[in-house]
Structure 1
């Protein structure tokens, strides 16, 4: 298991550590040791790698990587992605061995296996939700698998122009509507629900009102 952090400053920039010789660029963090929780492992990685001692924030995403794909061939890897910060300007400026990048710049410099975690984690942060990924691919039911602006547009539009209702679009956004769209309660539907009739106590018979004979109706205008 590993734990990484999306470290932000007050301007919304992402902290990307400078890669050492022979290693890929990655988000801050590292492997979680035997007796550690992911939060403890990330806090240790931030302290040892960047000299940063700050609280680890909420869990934004989990990425499960199968064996043999950019990792050990004999075991899978589960990566927890946590929010860290935002750091105040003085503390952010004092950091060395890393650079502050805009989110799109950070995604461009990170490897293909890491960039989806950052993208999904930021989407989860902006939507107040959680992202579930497998090998960097957002899974059905994960509302944070989309770019925040794209998800907000879909959520408020309902359906896209020219697309038949119930039919997902082709391409990378296929399946995002209906899976990623947040469902809201229908107050009108709730009003149409009839309340259940209370049950009669045991031993009590329900008295049925007798029907009136139409032939015995009083004529109109009678006394």
Structure 2
């Protein structure tokens, strides 16, 4: 009988990504990705972190490379865990609030086909499935001042957990 693997010495592949709940004058930004299918093409801007890069630094770099923004991420709003799929290993999406000044020049690039400044309700109408749930959770975290722990957008901590399941299941 073999002993279980030492996950400290030989960890499974994981990915770390950073996303922005970017706000300006009560609106948030959503991006349409060129590299995803039509079902989940809308979401929050950001990107994956390179090895030995913090989530915050990865977001600063991604927003500069993909939108031309020179911004500093603010408060951490949520950690959204995602199980592995055929397409990507398991990982965590770290979502930060980013306050964007009115008139900030924006140049979508790097896999973004379109960018829209919309109300939180409009963002949730564009996004679907876990992307919508993630946006809803982060908007609540920003308004309520409390960090959110999510699993594919669904809150995993009380008191949000039961309400999120009911909303997901149409209850």
TM over 0.5, yes or no? Answer: yes
1:144–1:34 Cα change, 3 Å = same
Map Cα deviations across residues 176-214 of structure 1 (whole Å, 9 max, x no partner).
xxxxxxxxxxxxxxxxxxxxxxxxxxxxxxxxxxxxxxx
Map Cα deviations across residues 59-98 of structure 1 (whole Å, 9 max, x no partner).
1011111122x842xx31111010000x22222xx32432
Task: State which of 65, 85, 95 in structure 1 corresponds to 2:106.
Answer: 95
Map Cα deviations across residues 24-59 of structure 1 (whole Å, 9 max, x no partner).
222110101101000000111000000001111111
Which residue of structure 1 lines up, in the alignment, with residue 98 of structure 2? 84
Give ranges in structure 1 of 5+ residues lacking alignment: 148-170, 174-223
TM-score (structure 2 length as normaliser): 0.74
Q: Decide which structure has the larger Cα Rg and report it.
A: 1
Give ranges in structure 2 of 5+ residues lacking alignment: 1-15, 109-114
| 3-state SS of 1:113 partner | helix
- Structure with more of its chain in strand, by fraction: 2
Whether the 8 Å contact between 1:130 and 1:144 is mirrored in structure 2 is no
> What is the RMSD of the two structures over their aligned residues, measured on CA atoms?
2.4
1:21–1:78 Cα change, 3 Å = closer
Matched pairs, number: 143
In the TM superposition, structure 1's runs of 4+ consecutive aligned residues that sit over 4 Å from their partners are: 142-147
Which range is displaced more, 135-144 or 97-106? 135-144
